[in-house]
Amino acid sequence: MSHNLSDQVTDYATVVENETRRATLLIRNAVVRIDSVASNPFVQCYLIAARRGRQIRLAREQVAQRQQSGSRSNSVETPQSDET
């Protein structure tokens, strides 16, 4: 690869990196109205993933609570009578 072409590739990579960084900052600082972009497939995918992630987290919390309540009931000893 010639030196000139190498410089062009490096310059292009730098430009792409700078533009990506700038776009990312704009997205982070933007207030996006969901209804205005809800038709965007990427937004829909993100919303579905977020909803599914929440469902999974809630299900795991419920399982943990059941296990804790189950272990509590197992740890409570029932008195046994000495009738013979």
The pLDDT of residue 64 is: 92
Closest CA to 54 of 42, 64, 46, 65: 46
CA distances from 58 to 46, 47, 61, 65, 73 (A): 18, 17, 5, 11, 23
For 2, the 3-state DSSP assignment is: coil
Span of 19-33, 40-54, 63-77 with lowest mean pLDDT: 19-33
What is the pTM for the complete model shown? 0.40
Q: Which residue has the tokens 């972009």?
A: 37
Instruction: Give the residue ranges of DSSP H helices in the chain.
Output: 3-29, 34-37, 41-75
The per-residue pLDDT for range 3-27, each reduced to its tens digit, is 566 666 667 667 767 777 666 666 6
The pLDDT of residue 81 is: 55
The pLDDT of residue 48 is: 86
Note whether 75 and 67 are within 8 A (CB).
Answer: no
DSSP state of 78: P
Type of residue numbered 62: Q
